[in-house]
Structure 1
Amino acid sequence: MVRGRGIRLAQTLTIALLLMLLIPSGLALARGVHVLAAGSALTSAANSVAEVDPFTGTGAQPGSPSGYAGGDTFPGADVPFGLVQWSPDTVSYAPGGYWYPDNRIKGFSLTHLNGAGCPAYGDIPFIPYVGTVKESPAANPSRYIATFSHAHETASPGYYQVALDNKVNVELTVTQHSGLGRFTYPQGQTATLLLNVSGSANGTHDAQVKIGHDSISGWALSGGFCGAKNTYKLYFWTQFSQPFATTGTWHDKALQPGNLNAEGGSPASPAVQQLSTLLKQRTSLPPSATQLHPATIASGPGSGAYVTFDTRASSTITAHVGVSFVSVANARDNVEQEAGHNNFARAQKQAQQAWLQRLNSIRIKGGLATQRSTFYTALYHVFLQPNIFSDVNGQYIGFDGNIHTVEPGHAQYANYSGWDIYRSEIQLLALLAPKETSDIVKSMLNDYRQSGQLPKWSLANSETYVMVGDPADPIIAGAYAFGARNFDTQAALDAMVKQATQPNNVRPGQNYLDELGYLPTDGHYGCCSFYGPAATSLEYNTADFAISAFARQLGEHASAQKFLARAQNWKKLFNPATHFLEPRNLEGAFPASYDPASPQGWVEGNGAQYSWMVPFNLRGLFNALGGNDKVVKRLDTFFTRLNAGPNQPYAFLGNEPTFETPWEYDYAGAPYKAQKVVRDVANTLYTPGPGGLAGNDDLGETSSWYVFAALGMFPETPGTADLALASPLFPEITIYRQGGQVIQIYALQASARTPYIHNLLLNGELSHKPWLPASFIEKGGTLNFTLSDTPDRSWGSDPADAPPSAF
């Protein structure tokens, strides 16, 4: 549990040296027996939850590029993959709803995205207020904000608490489809609760609220993610622990005491609308924190309800709230099935147990307290999204606008940050939660059947077309490769092939790929937020390789060969005169004067950063660049800055296009440099606390990079389970898979300052290869590392030991 900015971690246990006395260290290493030094800490099954700091990423990391400096996370109550994330929203803008430097809360809303970079959801804010409502909150929203101090704020997985300056103590916990709120008011004063049903993060097209005897229900119609035209409708139903003393509603400027119904939408504040437009493609970001975090409240249209309670018998009011994207009746059923018979303490305990089950899928020993907190916080963030979208009864609203029902024992999922999560998050989810990840893929196939296309960057039950590429291909192939296989693989391959070969809105410019092999800078694309043609070309190449890898695993050799060949179109962007991948026009010309630091033609990056993005054929890329020696020197220059932003010709490890690049040293005969860079990134760009993330968490993708870095491995090649190696951060790591496989990683000397591999045993056999085959993930196994603070330049340097590339 975390209170304010301080981290209160569970007390650690001391490990005895008895085994070191009984077993010679060399023999222990050879047989896979790892002995921890005295004073090491054991992360027990009980305290992995205590290691998590939900405030991590809610502020900005000093020195990070403007517009990318915050993790955009939220600290509120949630459970793994939960439909409800009940969390505070500050007055100052933040895509996750909560900006740590602000001490003003405008409400506690029921839905959030973790680190999306643009605002979304933030639906149905609850506003506890002390006093009588005398003015419409739409006319004067500032009247109803509450200030607070971080010293009086607490968060842990599944629980959030804050004592507001108005003397109301707020506690929140959740189940999978519902939440429980406990509001304790000061004695002897008017206890009021407002529900701003039109107060979604991007405003609402319309909203409705209805007050009952002791319940409030309604819906909000919102959307507009990153300036897109998507919409969704969220229903809610809330029952309170006592009847209302008084009731009322508001609509625009009109306050209506005693009224029971209201309807009307509200736009987002003008400052937020302007910023959302800028964030849509990140082409022109304002430089100051004030411009990046404007006020999200403004007087204008809007509607909501307010009620008061008689607190003479009890000053604590409990709310059981359910949400649904289908109906108010389903929202009520979600409450009655999950939370209706729960008291707050029982629900909180169940949420904690759900988190224990997930977090304990990886057990670590040793390391510093800050490292353990960073690790388990990252793993916590990985499990937040995608979200369960179906209700307790299995119903969900489809991409076709109709109500569908999933098979018993399964769930429909939503919210796919495709451009982000295909790189390492989906692999980690498949590794640790193959059952749920299989349902995630099934959900994507359901979306395809209902809409004719696989999700790209979808929110709820609609496509936003935010970002570029065709990320569903590496998502599905990566999930399958890492063990999530309970879905219709033939239907998946058919959908992937069709989407990659016929005109559609997910892959604009397919005609240019067929004719030219790349997307020209002066082409006509027609729709769907298309931009960054050079970056998009490379994304299509990666997607094509993923189709090839998936088809090969299914024995579909013709498709495998076809898309493997097409994936090599990255060569069409290679300029032999400059040795960079560059944008090209319709006539095939490269820019007359090329600046690798320019973002022109790229997406959230530049030519220097994207010139490494051929993760499936690095051998081919390195040959084109002049061989390993030249590649290593160029990588050395590239990594002189680790998080330079999109306008500098250096690494940008706060954002996805550079995530794969540190591991490329493994392919160039210099694994020791990969080990150093990965450890430097883990040491400097990831920490506990509000400034603990160097960039948007992007629905868990950034956090998943850290988890893999701490394990000492990374899924470099999309669509396969091959793993490029760095070195583990902790002396002992055990991964428990749902199928019973166990992966054990031992590294006695592991620390922040000892990244270099001097020896590796793979299942007891000496290995000089800086990578692991897919069989290791499938079957499990044991790794024994000998690490040092000085590099071993020879280990893994033999070209024959390099990881495979797909020519």
Structure 2
Amino acid sequence: MKKVPFKLLFLNLVIISCVNSQHFRQEGRIQYVDTRVGTAASVTKHAGRFGKGREEYAQTIPAVLEPNGMNFWTPQTRDTEIKCIAPYYYRDSILQGFRNSHWINGGCTQDYGSMTLMPLFGALKTDPEKRGSIFSHDQETATPSYYSVFLKNYGIKAEMTGKSRSAIFRFTYSEQGDAYLVVNPNSDEGEGCIEIDTVRQEIRGYNPVHRIYQGWGKYAGYNGYFIVSYQKPLEEFGTFIGDTVFPGKTALSNRKKIGAYLRFRVRENEEVIIKASSSFTDMEGARLNMEEEIPTWNFDQVRDDLSRIWEKQLALIEVETDSEEDKCKFYGALYRASFLPRTFNDVDGRYPSFAAGKPIRIVEKGRNYYDDFSMWDTYRALHPLLNIISPRKSGDMVHSLILKYEQGGWLPIFPCWNSYTSAMIGDHGISVIGDAFVKGVRNFDIEKAYEGMRKNAFESHSSIEDYKNGMGRRALKSYLRYGYIPLEDSVPDAFHTHEQVSRTLEYAYDDFVLAQVANALGKKEDYRMLSLRATNYTHVIDTISGYAQGRYADGEFLKANNAFNFVDFITEGTPAHYTWYVPHDVPGLIQQMGGRAKYLAKLDSMFSEGLYWHGNEPCHQIPFMFNYAGRAWRTQEEVRHIMETEYLNDPGGLSGNDDAGQMSAWYVFASLGFYPVCPGTPYYMIASPSFKKAVIKLENNKKFILVAHNASPENRYIRSVKLNGKAYTNNYLSHSDILKGGMIEFDMGSTPNMKWGQ
């Protein structure tokens, strides 16, 4: 299918879904969110050298959920929890059921602890791939609070809504006859369990969780427990393994492709309501979650409740524009930036202990315990966004990191599956904690947090088994000995081996952030040492070439013309991409590269020569770095270009993995006109606001208003700025300016004002 008709079809479907809805919720901002954006192969206009074919799918799912809830209730077109296979793809034409997914939305990881259910009619089919139904996107509605689809093979209209830990389904049957419900735990390892309880009118079971990256394949110490409740009187029930059915048998375990089924008689146009819930603690937790979150069997009431939750979330930032598509892109991005980290505790506060699963812990009343921190991605923009719009939630997330440190002994690097992983590189728990603290978030124990951060930064592992298990910084001994990680250290005990230069650059940044916290806490000697270590980036940027380069233990740089090639000492990019990873000391980087003229020439070439790669995170700060060298208008130009070419309101509308919402959080910031180049400092680089007006509603009951006079696709350049009525010439905003409330006004034009922001 050609791109233009594909896009027009999708936009028409969005309009149809809005028009067809009769509920109040579609009168608000939900109408601008089609949750299928990012579920197809990228059709963005990116023309650079990198990205296409490497991360072609955004890997998002069209989920119904609460913001940062436990479960992502999603339609399923792929029956697996295998790494890098999302539950749903737009190109698929067969729908297999509805999953309580724990997929890291937008990532290339794996699902875990999930369950899938599917309604059938006429005949029982148990295997997920054989029982699937043809469906059409023009009979599908996908919003944050409601999903519906017509299952053509069975004549069933299936509807889904829910809450954080629970969901409710409504199945409407076109004909009179035999209806079935099949349920299966999605254990690829064949270790799940399922049983039918006709007295309690429920199917229940569990799916053991297994680790990935460090500790790959090992049992994580806890399970995904689930309950599916029904009211309809049964005609028959049983269990199955694959295609083999066992009528009347109530339980199965520890086999692949197991499941349970129910049969009941339905009338023409009869509606059958099904409820489901889950827990990571135990079956009683799943039952309590359902009782507390969805005590009713009224589908529309639950839908309205979830719609109100989403309207409140999306209303945290109100935007005004004549472009309906820009509203869709913005609120769609805000939706995708509201998935992760996820709530992990039950309604009563219980959750499995970090890195072991036992004992069961209880988070403080009024708080949630969060997990699935895709840290290497989300520290850049997603967590800074939370520090503006939801600082209490951000503080609870930091508190969760502290709990992980207390329970596991080390501050985790990339905590997912409620375990250590050491996936990716860096030590960006420090960035997340430091950014929250620097920006005034205080609902966590900063001294305990500092204890964990300092241990990561200064202490090497005492146990090789703990280190291999994912605890502590990779290659810290080399980093402390040389001031960089030399090429001779292959970093063997990591999911990403080698990548020595990228690690050095990221550790230098993390050391800078930790230095800011140390200084604020009066830890002067730590501040001195960490500030010195923050200059370690200079050890891996070759002053001769001006680019990042591999370096040996004897101090010699690698002799190779490799700035624009993928090399093993750089993470998911090239030396040219990582050269700009000095967000904490751009003046020093300018000097290291040979001065302002050389800095600007190289920076300009990133865009003029197609070197920039937006579909992966290492480049995300680069377009804002013109601001540091007196070229604010170039930042305005390139950021707008990226917004227009790398983001579309289309199933293929994202140019790379959304990575737990980082790509989307980037767009939220960029469209508002500022971006946190260096989390851990209270500053944002100003770019080019795209909305006539945007209102950020703050938790302190104040509002920060951004007005862009004459803003349009043509008028992308800032002519002048006023902050609270006074002329403003800085090319950055401070966090305190935002928290105070007030108004910043931009006068926009079609030609650059080359003097503004110098």
TM-score by length of structure 1 reads 0.85
The answer for the alignment partner of 1:127 in structure 2 is 118
C-alpha displacement at 1:578, in angstroms? 1.3
1:439 correspondence with 2:426? no
Could you tell which deviates more after superposition, 531-540 or 118-127? 118-127
1:292-691 map, 5 Å: 301-312=256-267, 315-399=270-354, 400-401=356-357, 402-504=359-461, 505-531=471-497, 532-600=499-567, 601-640=569-608, 650-691=611-652
Question: CA–CA distance in 1 between the matches of 2:751 and 2:733?
Answer: 23
Cα 1:651/1:341, change in 2 over 3 Å: same
Distance in 2 of aligned mates of 1:170 and 1:469: 44
Q: Distance in 1 between matches of 2:124 and 2:17?
A: 43
1:191 aligns to what? 179
Amino acid at match of 1:625: M
CA distance in 2, matches of 1:794, 1:396: 55
* Deviation for aligned residue 1:773: 2.3
Q: Please tell me whether residue 142 in structure 1 is matched to residue 159 in structure 2.
A: no
- Using the TM superposition, give the Cα deviation of residue 595 of structure 1 relative to its aligned residue in structure 2, in angstroms: 0.8
Q: How many Å apart are 1:741 and its aligned residue?
A: 2.6
Kindly indicate whether the alpha-carbon contact (under 8 Å) linking 1:364 and 1:730 is maintained by their aligned counterparts in 2: yes
Q: Distance in 2 between matches of 1:606 and 1:308?
A: 57
Amino acid aligned to 1:488: D
In the TM superposition, 1:223-242 aligns within 5 A as 223-225=210-212, 228-229=216-217, 231=220, 232-242=222-232
Q: 1:11: how far off?
A: 9.5
The one-letter code sitting in structure 1 at the alignment partner of 2:749 is S
Q: Which residue of 2 aligns with 1:56?
A: 37
The answer for the alignment partner of 2:4 in structure 1 is none
| Partner SS, residue 341 of structure 1 | coil
**Counterpart Cα distance in 1 of 2:167 and 2:9:** 21
Contact 1:731 1:749 in 2 (8 A): yes
Name the structure 1 match of 2:160: 172
Counterpart contact for 2:35–2:142, Cα < 8 Å: yes
CA offset at residue 530 of structure 1? 3.9
Residue 139 (structure 2) pairs with residue 152 (structure 1): yes
Shift of 1:475: 0.9
CA distance in 1 between counterparts of 2:551 and 2:122 reads 64
User: Secondary structure of the residue that 1:461 maps to in structure 2?
Assistant: coil
Q: Which of residues 188, 197, 213 in structure 2 aligns to 1:212? A: 197
CA deviations on 1:694-750 (whole Å, 9 max, x unpaired) are 111111111000000001101111211201111211011110111123111111111
2:249 is the alignment partner of 1:259: yes
Residue 131 of structure 1 contacts residue 190 of structure 1 at CA under 8 Å; is this kept in 2?
yes
Q: Distance in 2 between matches of 1:641 and 1:710?
A: 25
CA distance in 2, matches of 1:260, 1:104: 29
Q: Evaluate the alpha carbon distance shift between residue 4 and residue 207 of structure 1 in structure 2; reply closer, same or farther with a 3 A threshold.
A: farther
What residue in structure 2 maps to residue 295 of structure 1? none
Between the aligned partners of 1:779 and 1:708, the Cα distance in structure 2 is: 19
How far the C-alpha of 1:9 sits from its partner, in A, is 8.7
**Which residues of structure 1 form unaligned runs of 5+?**
13-43, 266-300, 643-649, 798-807
Aligned equivalents of 1:581, 1:220: Cα separation in 2: 45
CA shift at 1:344, angstroms? Answer: 0.8
AA paired with 1:712?
Answer: G
Distance 1:524 1:627, change over 3 A: closer
For the Cα contact (< 8 Å) 1:114–1:699, is it kept in 2? Answer: yes
User: Aligned equivalents of 2:609 and 2:79: distance in 1?
Assistant: 31
Deviation at 1:50, TM superposition (A): 1.2
Letter in 2 for 1:155: A
Instruction: Kindly indicate whether residue 236 of structure 2 is the aligned counterpart of residue 246 of structure 1.
Output: yes
Gap change, CA 1:122 and 1:731, over 3 Å in 2: farther
Q: What is the CA-CA distance between 1:526 and the residue it aligns to?
A: 4.3
CA distance in 2, matches of 1:165, 1:237: 27
SS of the equivalent of 1:491 reads helix
Q: 1:102 aligns with which of 88, 92, 97?
A: 92
Q: Are the structure 2 counterparts of residues 204 and 159 from structure 1 closer, same or farther at C-alpha, using a change threshold of 3 Å?
A: farther
Task: In structure 1, give the amino acid aligned to 2:266.
Answer: T
Q: What residue identity is the alignment partner of 2:14?
A: I
Counterparts of 2:581 and 2:196, CA distance in 1 = 55
Deviations 1:737-775 (A, max 9, x none): 111231111111112221111101122221211111232
1:114 equivalent to 2:105? Answer yes
Cα deviation, 1:493-535, whole Å, max 9, x if unaligned, reads 1110111111243311111111101112221534232421111
Query: Partner amino acid for 2:318?
Result: R
Q: Residue 234 of structure 1 aligns to which amino acid in structure 2?
A: G
3-state SS of the aligned residue for 2:694?
strand
| Closer, same or farther: CA 127–45 of 1 in aligned 2, 3 Å | closer
**Cα separation, partners in 2 of 1:555 and 1:780, compared to 1, 3 Å:** farther
Aligned-pair distance for 1:546?
A: 1.3
Distance 2:703 2:646 in 1: 30
1:136-168: CA deviation from partner (whole Å, max 9, x where unpaired): 62xxx4321221110110011111101011212
Taking only the aligned residue pairs, the percentage that are identical comes to: 30
8 Å Cα contact 1:573/1:581 also seen in 2: yes
Q: State the match for 1:36 in structure 2.
A: none
Q: Which residue of 1 is the match for residue 74 of structure 2? A: 87
| Counterparts of 1:705 and 1:552, CA distance in 2 | 29
Distance 1:4 1:774, change over 3 A: closer
Taking a change above 3 Å as real, the CA distance of residues 629 and 577 of structure 1, as seen in their structure-2 partners, is closer
SS at 2:266 equivalent: coil
Change (3 A) 1:124 1:530: same
Is the contact between residue 466 and residue 529 of structure 1 (CA under 8 Å) also seen in structure 2? yes
Residues 9, 51 of structure 1: 8 Å contact kept = no
Q: 1:226 to 1:718 in 2, by over 3 A?
A: same
Give the Å deviation of 1:558. Answer: 3.0
Q: Tell me how far apart the structure 2 counterparts of residues 120 and 328 of structure 1 sit (CA, whole Å).
A: 20
With over 3 angstroms needed to count, the CA separation of the structure-2 counterparts of 1:261 and 1:751, relative to structure 1, is: same
User: 1:779, CA displacement in angstroms?
Assistant: 2.1
Question: C-alpha displacement at 1:557, in angstroms?
Answer: 3.3
- Count residues in correspondence: 716
Task: Decide which moves more: 548-557 or 67-76.
Answer: 548-557
Taking the aligned partners of 1:10 and 1:335, their CA distance within structure 2 comes to 29
Q: Which amino acid aligns with 1:512?
A: S
Matched residue SS, 1:678: helix
Match of 1:65 among 52, 65, 68: 52
Q: Which 10-residue stretch deviates more, 328-337 or 536-545? A: 536-545
Q: Per the alignment, in what secondary structure is the counterpart of residue 575 of structure 1?
A: coil
Could you say what secondary structure the match of 2:136 adopts? strand
Cα separation, 2, equivalents of 1:539 and 1:322: 40
2:717 counterpart of 1:717: no
Deviation at 1:45, TM superposition (A): 11
The answer for the alignment partner of 1:706 in structure 2 is 667
Alignment match, 2:465: none
Q: Which amino acid is 2:564 matched to?
A: A
* Amino acid of the structure 2 residue aligned with 1:186: S
Would the aligned equivalents of 2:79 and 2:129 in 1 still touch at CA under 8 Å? no
Q: Do the aligned residues in 1 keep the contact of 2:32 with 2:331 (CA within 8 Å)?
A: yes
Bigger shift: residues 603-612 or 228-237: 228-237
Q: Distance in 2 between matches of 1:721 and 1:189?
A: 64
TM-score norm. by structure 2 comes to 0.91
- Which residue pairs with 1:786 in the alignment? 747
CA distance in 2, matches of 1:358, 1:229: 36
Contact 2:697/2:703 (8 A) holds in 1: yes
**Which stretch shifts more, 773-782 or 410-419?**
773-782
CA RMSD of aligned residues (A): 2.2
Larger displacement relative to structure 2 (181-190 or 222-231): 222-231
Q: CA deviation at 1:47?
A: 1.9
C-alpha distance in 1, partners of 2:336/2:392?
A: 19
